[in-house]
């Protein structure tokens, strides 16, 4: 009997000691801890984003010039007095707009080299010293445009990248298509399809708008601040390459071209495990200045939002506003870390 009582007392005392020590560690850590920096996502328009965590600033497809050019979904604005851009036009980055909104950047990731994704990249890279990451086409464009070689990193689908404070999976992807495929003429397997032409390595400035060819398309899974953020730069994807990924945030291309892909939204949501948060990207009227109303684009976006909610009722969809940061909840709480370290819960 005495031995049984002794064992019980010892077990209780041990549990109390563990709780007291854990509480003291927690109190000490709280007293010395720095505030947890949230991850913030800021929409720049088109497929452009800024991801900020602490001192790290990541730009995705930053395009703020918003050239006056007819697009498949939107006519130009009658109130826009700028000259109409054609494929033969030489378009300079709108430095005033860029400088007003981008003061610094650590990294620039491009999904592809169409002008509405890549035109502003060289100026921003030279201005900030950011590392430019993208396809061989992206690397060629950067070199030709005077970005130093030390700031250029060519990648391909399947690469795993590690940087200070975050990591990235490079995902092979596809560009959107502007018409539904003819069912009587099925596409050959991806392995047999020709690769999109690259921006030429021997191009000479000045670069004309139409020279910004696709050059292949990538998606990225960015792991930062306890979050996994997957982002697409167009209205397409390779389902087998994203199946099984479990991001908590998905930036999904939402222009009407998505409707040329069978079951575009439900298949993608299912492949990604119905991410808790979806941010539409590449949905706005990107051929008009920021001052022009986006209400027509917001109206047509409602069908995409409905598709997401039908596929995943619990997913939250936020329609981003230009230059207004969206903060992600911290997933690296101090108490949670301590509980994992001590392998216990308060109910133990």
The reported pLDDT for the residue numbered 332 is 52
Q: What pTM did the predictor assign?
A: 0.85
Q: Is residue 142 part of a domain?
A: yes
pLDDT digits (tens, 9 = 90+) for 253-308: 999 999 999 999 999 999 999 999 999 999 999 999 999 999 999 999 999 999 99
Task: Give CA–CA dist 346/348, Å, rounded.
Answer: 6
Q: What is the CATH number of the domain that holds 157?
A: 3.60.15.10
First to last CA, the chain: 26
Percent composition of the chain: helix, strand, coil (DSSP 3-state, to 5): 30, 20, 50
- Tokens at residue 158, please? 């399947």
Residue by residue, DSSP assigns 73-116 as S-PPPTT--SPPP-TT------HHHHHHH-S--SEEE-S--SHH
> Residue 127: inside a domain, yes or no?
yes
CB 37 within 8 A of CB 325: no
Calculate helix-pair angle for 334-342, 2-32, nearest 10 degrees.
150
Which structure tokens are listed for 20? Answer: 């007291």
Report pLDDT for 112: 98
Sign of CA dihedral 8, 9, 11, 15: positive
| Distance of alpha carbon 88 from alpha carbon 76, whole angstroms | 18
> What local confidence, expressed as pLDDT, does residue 339 receive?
31
Spatial CA neighbour of 216 closest among 231, 201, 234: 234
Taking the C-alpha atoms of residue 330 and residue 334, their distance in angstroms, rounded to an integer, is 10
DSSP 3-state of 294: coil
Give the total number of structural domains in the chain.
Answer: 1
Q: Region 16-25: what's the mean pLDDT?
A: 50
Q: What is the rounded CA–CA span in Å between residue 40 and residue 59?
A: 12
Residues 214-258: pLDDT tens digits? 999 999 999 999 999 999 999 999 999 999 999 999 999 999 999
Task: Answer whether residue 19 is part of any domain.
Answer: no
266 within some domain: yes
Instruction: Give the C-alpha distances (Å, rounded to integers) separating 115 from 87, 112, 285, 286.
Output: 10, 9, 15, 11
pLDDT confidence of 189, banded at 50, 70, 90?
confident
And the tokens for 295? Answer: 């209400």
Alpha helix ranges (H) inside the chain? 2-32, 95-101, 115-118, 121-128, 136-144, 239-242, 264-271, 295-311, 334-342
pLDDT in tens, 62-101: 999 999 999 999 999 999 999 999 999 999 999 999 999 9
Distances (CA, A) of 338 to 39, 103, 331: 21, 37, 13
- Domain-located, residue 97: yes
| Position 236 in a domain | yes
Residue 187 inside a domain? The answer is no
How big is the CA angle at 107 (ends 104 and 110), to the nearest 5 degrees?
Answer: 120
Angle between helix axes 264-271 and 295-311 (nearest 10 degrees) is 50
Cα–Cα distance measured from residue 98 to residue 64, given in angstroms and rounded to the nearest whole number: 6
Region class of 341: left (phi > 0), else alpha (psi between -120 and 50), else beta: alpha
- The answer to whether 209 and 215 are in contact (CB under 8 A) is no
Cis peptide before 206 (omega within 30 of 0): yes
Residues 308-348: tens digit of each pLDDT: 999 999 999 999 999 999 999 876 544 333 333 333 332 32
Residue 335 within a domain: yes
Q: Give the pLDDT of residue 25.
A: 47
Beta carbons of 56 and 165 less than 8 angstroms apart: yes
Domain that holds residue 290: 38-175+207-342
């Amino acid at each position: 009997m005495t031995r049984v009582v002794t064992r019980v007392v010892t077990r209780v005392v041990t549990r109390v000691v563990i709780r007291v020590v854990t509480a003291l560690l927690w109190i000490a850590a709280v007293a010395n801890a720095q505030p947890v920096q949230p991850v913030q996502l800021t929409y720049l328009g088109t497929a452009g984003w800024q991801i900020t965590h602490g001192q790290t600033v990541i730009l995705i497809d930053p395009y703020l010039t918003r050239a006056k050019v007819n697009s498949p979904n939107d006519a130009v604005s009658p109130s826009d007095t700028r000259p109409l851009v054609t494929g033969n036009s030489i378009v300079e980055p709108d430095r005033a707009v860029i400088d007003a909104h981008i003061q610094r950047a650590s990294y620039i990731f491009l999904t592809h080299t169409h002008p509405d994704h890549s035109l502003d990249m060289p100026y921003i890279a030279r201005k900030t010293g950011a590392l430019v990451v993208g396809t061989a086409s992206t690397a060629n464009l950067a070199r030709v445009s005077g970005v130093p070689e030390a700031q250029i990193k060519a990648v391909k689908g399947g690469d795993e990248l590690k940087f200070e404070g975050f990591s990235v999976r490079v995902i092979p992807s596809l560009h959107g298509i502007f018409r539904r495929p003819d069912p009587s003429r099925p596409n050959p397997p991806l392995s047999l399809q020709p690769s999109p032409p690259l921006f030429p390595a021997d191009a000479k400035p000045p670069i004309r708008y139409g020279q910004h060819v696709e050059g292949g398309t990538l998606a990225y899974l960015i792991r930062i601040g306890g979050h996994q953020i997957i982002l697409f730069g167009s209205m397409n994807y390779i389902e087998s390459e994203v199946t099984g990924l479990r991001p908590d945030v998905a930036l999904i291309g939402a222009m009407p071209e998505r409707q040329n892909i069978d079951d575009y939204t439900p298949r993608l949501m299912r492949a990604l495990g119905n991410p808790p948060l979806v941010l539409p990207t590449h949905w706005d009227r990107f051929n008009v200045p920021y001052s022009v109303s986006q209400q027509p684009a917001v109206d047509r976006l409602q069908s995409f939002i409905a598709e997401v909610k039908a596929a995943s009722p619990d997913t939250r969809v936020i329609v981003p506003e230009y230059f207004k940061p969206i903060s992600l909840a911290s997933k690296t709480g101090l108490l949670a870390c301590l509980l994992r370290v001590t392998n216990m819960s308060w109910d133990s």
